[in-house]
Structure 1
């Protein structure tokens, strides 16, 4: 039987890997790396560096495949993501079928934690449900950008006895969030914090958290929103992409 490990590798700092993740790396024979284009080659390079650092006395190889892209424009968001996942599913099926032998272990290295805004587990389960490919898989949790952000800013995520909502920039921009005091926002492509009406709301913002390019800004939205917007724009121009997360805390 083929085995697959979905390994959370943290938010960018190689020291974020858990001991469970390190042990899992040393079980993998074939690592599947999804290439998202030149702008994000650094993410592939980091995955390779993590393996070189932690794998000892075990032979392994990398298989790279071009990652499908989600179509943007006037398409319904949910339908476009479902189409993207179907395309990824076809790619995953081919890799597992062609590159992994019976009895071998394959690995997917997931940025952050596999349970949070990542579809790898969902896609693998869909492959099993289709009956076209047989394997067993395990999920190894990792440190998410949410955890890393809170640690770097030295703040708890929730207030005493309070709830915490984790959502996306798209939902914040459409005011599709609850009225809780603490909201973590991920995948913000449009400076959605600008939609928050209370300038006294505190924001703890971080980009490339856990990497050498890490940037942190915190303060009242009314005082730091412009600075965050300028920083995001400059980072995107310099790197071709930006990976940021932030916590909003009502006064």
Structure 2
């Protein structure tokens, strides 16, 4: 039976584990979403595939409503369905084993595993699939700032900007926040939180900021804009801890 491999690639070649490199070299092609005509993250995947001698098949990414739809889970579900159908068409058209390359690690706020499961459940393309872990953004954040994500005997909550205010209201005071392009943390009391922030971690345009939230928010906004302008994309993550 043919195999599909979901491979975490960290932020690229320097973070590629030996297991991940072996997995990519062992497939016949890589499938990757193309989100625009000039998609810098697709080009980064394409360069990695060239280095490893594996062809890449670009698939136009279905449109998605990102402007706070009334039914957010429904909008995501529709997007996943459209992605699954698009990837299924590639697998029907091409023989051999395939891989999906996931930034960071597939376990953290990524939809690839769910979408591959959907393709398998549709039953038109028989295949087995597995997951190869990668270096995640929270790991890189902790390493760059030389910190432990949780205090002694205390938990850490992984959440998103969309959920941040709700989670703080529920009493969480040590949070790793992903997918917060609008910097919702700016709505919190600026004098009672410390933040350790990073963008494009592990990439040439990496940016780091740390300090009391109110003091460093302008620096974070400026660094985020600079990272996006330099790379053409920005992925950021931060640890937020009540002071």
Assess, with a 3 A threshold, how the Cα gap between structure 1 residues 211 and 235 changes in structure 2: closer, same or farther.
closer
TM-score for the superposition, normalised by structure 1: 0.89
Matches within 5 A, 1:48-59: 48-53=46-51, 55=52
- Distance in 1, Cα, partners of 2:222 & 2:2: 48
Assess, with a 3 A threshold, how the Cα gap between structure 1 residues 231 and 150 changes in structure 2: closer, same or farther.
same
In the TM superposition, residue 133 of structure 1 has moved relative to its aligned partner by 2.1
58, 61, 74: which one aligns with 1:64: 58
2:213 corresponding residue in structure 1:
221
- Where structure 2 has 5 or more consecutive residues not aligned to the other structure, the ranges are none
1:32 corresponding residue in structure 2:
31
Q: Does 1:9 align with 2:1?
A: no
Whether the aligned pair in 2 keeps the contact of 1:9 and 1:143 (CA below 8 Å) is yes
Whether the aligned pair in 2 keeps the contact of 1:159 and 1:181 (CA below 8 Å) is no
- Distance in 2, Cα, partners of 1:153 & 1:121: 30
Assess, with a 3 A threshold, how the Cα gap between structure 1 residues 169 and 212 changes in structure 2: closer, same or farther.
same
Alignment length (residue pairs)? 241
TM-score for the superposition, normalised by structure 2: 0.92
**Deviation string for 1:90-119 (max 9, x for gaps)?**
1111111112x1xx2101001111111111
- Where structure 1 has 5 or more consecutive residues not aligned to the other structure, the ranges are none
Matches within 5 A, 1:110-129: 110-129=102-121
Whether the aligned pair in 1 keeps the contact of 2:205 and 2:231 (CA below 8 Å) is no
**Deviation string for 1:103-149 (max 9, x for gaps)?**
x2101001111111111111111222222221111100111111111
